[in-house]
Structure 1
């Protein structure tokens, strides 16, 4: 461990500080996704005369957040390396709270004209910056907080909390849709989750204030430059990209795009698709600590290869097995979640074990977030594109090939589970 005496760290408090804050971050991120149609109707109306409005709509909804995540990973990673992990975690959660409140008070196009989409774009920029920085800071914080032989277990809470945030956002959105009529949802109901997110961010900020810094003052005095990780460790940066590419594509395919894929290609009803997605996400969250603990015992490479080779072999038959029934969709999703756990439960630990503490956060943050933006963030669009050109069956092969490519990286990856974390 870096920067603190082992006795000074309370593992449960460290886990709580990282996990609650991360859940709040992802709650805010996914709340925007679930309520995008209401936001679009109020902020980007189809009847708008200004030709810039549809352009800004496309930019805001599909591009801005993912574009800013690599920037956030680099900037907030540098803050974590220079000022400490806790300082970066404090900044990211305050940024997310501010961006959530900004979405909640965004004026409608009818009230403010072009200013409305501009405000929303700014809020989404801030959200992307925060989420990209959150992964860099919380990954290093979780892994450095772990006692020997527990880094995989601690790292698994990265996706436990991410899943919890996604489920909370989905639940809040669903509750509002059921309680309010369509007019109320379009009038003010869509704003409520973002106001709630602002309050949650303050709670997360309070919890994180009590966390123990995991990087000592002497180490922080080195003050690495913004691009030191890329300059000093180019191979490690490429390694992060290779580790992440197949995993992020599979993750976004299974957790975000699969319900839509099932609707488009297997005539599954929207209600069944959403229910199956919610059930499988809850199952997925429970699996993460199991995967993390297994990796502490057996190593990182076996789980990564279980994921990569398993997905490469199984994704095509699994997606082709969809037949329109809820049961089949649920079983397909659950099977994919089991395989996916081999990656998600330990990706934070693997990434952190690649870099020394001096540049660990920035070293992880930029290549990871850039790879997510290139492959994970584009998964729904690539899948839809294949459908539009009449070759929907190519999308599973695209996922399989990328998972196979990452498996080649996993095969040559040095085993790091039982090494001392480099400082």
Structure 2
């Protein structure tokens, strides 16, 4: 791979990491700042409040996906990447400085909600532009390998958020952490987002975008639905199941280990940090396997395997007391999940032609992910509060079944990639 192409992939990935750091800082620290914005009620009630705001952020993602998907198709991939990280800067800075409920009352959770909506718009636009940019910049032979770095950086962002959380917990008292220390993480995220905005303005544009005809069809929902309805619905379905599984086994599990298994907050954070490091490092391996054996075998391994292990894994973790055993139990679904995450963005990009690719990747993905990935934590806590926590385990299993049907209906995009037409 030439130096210019490698620089572009590294640059796009670095920006993706910062985007997802800012997004996950909220989830990583919500256990700490829940009482700041939702002071009344027990821990589960407070977590329901922060989870509801988390879900609303997800509901903004289809809007961001649509607006910035069209923007990236019209004005370029790097322009879309710069706009998305600019919005993330604004949302993160708002969370960093907003006073708590005790100071400004109901305005505090309202501003938190607004900031999360901006972050939702940002991440909604980021996914499509980033997936399209990395897929178009990669070479055909190693497209699965290089595209896997979208989730390397996505998980890397989550790990950075967890690392900052661990550091703050180590150097600050619980009282200082709860009153002001958590804000440091959002200041860091805002500053990094500003730096990456400047960097993304100087990225190279992809050949796929530059080679598009000036009289190309316009990107938009009607054009997308009219020309690609089957692909649209397949992306919604796989994003619903894949997104639900991803957030169930990464974001929510940290709270599950505290709120159900009974681990201390710091121990749960350490378990998830170790698990996610291994998960992150496995992505290029799974991407390489997809280059060699095809996309569908990897996707079906995830779907069928996930249906088999979801209920047993959650059931075992619910009563687990050993941190080491919990770690190895979590690694089973995460390794299956890696078969999906490493190539999920690539598969979607390979389904659509260049003039509508960013929108085709982002918009149906955001619909499925917002409806079921973004609400995973809220659904899990609802089942728990209702006294039927095991219902969530079957909920995950059911949507993995839907995703598996969609995987069966997908073409083998290793051989039918629309990127080859650019």
TM-score w.r.t. the length of structure 1 is: 0.89
Query: How far off its partner does 1:147 sit?
Result: 0.9
Q: 1:177 to 1:345 in 2, by over 3 A?
A: same
Alignment correspondent of 2:19: 25
Match of 1:10 among 4, 11, 16: 4
CA-to-aligned-CA distance 1:313-360 (integer Å, 9 cap, x gap): 122223333332222211111111111111000001101011111111
Name the counterpart of 1:341: 338
Shift of 1:366: 1.3
Name whichever of 19-28 and 261-270 sits farther off: 261-270
In the TM superposition, what whole-angstrom CA distance separates every residue of 1:277-334 from its partner, at most 9, and x where no partner exists?
1111000000000011110111000000111111111222233333322222111111
Contact kept, 8 Å, 1:93 with 1:201, in 2: the verdict is yes
CA distance in 1, matches of 2:263, 2:159: 21
Counterpart secondary structure, 1:414: coil
- How far is 1:98 from its partner? 1.8
| CA-CA distance at 1:402 after TM superposition | 1.7
Alpha-carbon distance in structure 2 between the residues aligned to 1:313 and 1:63: 27
Shift of 1:233: 1.5
2:403 corresponds in structure 1 to 406
Q: Which moved more, 1:147-156 or 1:85-94?
A: 147-156
Query: Alignment RMSD, CA only?
Result: 2.4
Distance 1:266 1:183 in 2: 24
Determine which of 283, 286, 298 is the counterpart of 1:291. Answer: 286
Q: Which residue is 2:194 aligned to? A: 202
Provide Cα deviations, 1:367-398, integer angstroms capped at 9, x if missing partner.
10111111112222222333333333332222
Q: Which runs of 4+ in 1 moved over 6 A?
A: none
Aligned equivalent of 2:119, options 91, 103, 127: 127
Is contact 1:149–1:418 with CA below 8 Å preserved after alignment?
no
The within-5 A match list for 1:237-316 is: 237-316=232-311
DSSP-derived class of the 1:107 partner = coil
Q: Does the C-alpha gap of structure 1 residues 113 and 177 become closer, same or farther in structure 2, counting only changes over 3 Å? A: same
Q: How does 1:45-56 map to 2 (within 5 A)?
A: 45-46=39-40
Q: Which SS does the other structure have where 2:389 is aligned? A: coil
Superposed counterparts of 1:171-250, under 5 Å: 171-214=163-206, 215-216=209-210, 218-219=212-213, 222=216, 224-227=218-221, 228-250=223-245
Report the secondary structure of 1:417's partner residue. helix
- Using the alignment, how far apart are the partners of 2:321 and 2:37 within structure 1? 35
Question: In terms of mean alpha carbon deviation, does 332-341 or 111-120 score higher?
Answer: 111-120
Q: What's the counterpart of residue 415 of structure 1?
A: 412
State which drifts further: 199-208 or 287-296.
199-208
- Of 351, 355, 360, the residue aligned with 1:358 is 355
3-state DSSP class of the match of 1:222?
coil
- Say if 1:262 and 1:191 are closer, same or farther in 2 by CA, change over 3 A: closer
Larger mean CA deviation between 171-180 and 233-242 belongs to 171-180
- Kindly tell me the number of residue pairs found equivalent between the two proteins: 410
Are the aligned partners of 1:99 and 1:124 in contact in 2 as well (CA < 8 Å)?
yes
- Measure the CA separation in 2 of the matches of 1:219 and 1:201: 33
Deviation at 1:58, TM superposition (A): 6.1
Q: 1:375 aligns with which of 353, 372, 375?
A: 372
In structure 1, stretches of 5+ residues that fail to align are 1-5, 48-53
Q: Is the 8 A contact 2:54 2:116 kept in 1?
A: no
Report which stretch shifted further, 158-167 or 239-248: 239-248
CA 1:275–1:220 in structure 2 vs 1: closer, same or farther (change >3 Å)? farther
- Structure 2 residue aligned with 1:118: 110
Matched, 1:163 2:160: no
Determine the C-alpha separation between the residues in 1 that align with 2:388 and 2:102.
40
Q: Give yes or no for contact 1:304–1:342 (8 Å, CA) kept in 2.
A: yes
- Note closer, same or farther for the CA distance 1:330–1:39 as it changes in structure 2 (3 Å cut): closer
CA distance in 1 between counterparts of 2:195 and 2:212 reads 30
Alpha-carbon deviation of 1:75?
0.8
Alignment partner of 1:97 out of 89, 92, 100? 89
Superposition deviation, residue 191 in structure 1: 2.0
- 3-state SS of the aligned residue for 1:201? helix
Q: Does the aligned pair in 2 maintain the 1:296–1:418 contact within 8 Å?
A: no
Provide the C-alpha distance between the structure 1 equivalents of 2:67 and 2:326, rounded to a whole number of angstroms. Answer: 40
Q: Which is worse superposed, 231-240 or 136-145?
A: 231-240
Deviation, 1:124, is 1.2
> Is this contact kept in 2: 1:157–1:289, CA < 8 A?
yes
- Which whole-Å CA distance do the structure 2 matches of 1:246 and 1:91 have between them? 28
Mean Cα displacement is larger for which, 97-106 or 66-75? 97-106
* Cα 1:232–1:419 shift into 2, 3 Å: closer
Q: 1 CA distance for matches of 2:13 and 2:76?
A: 18
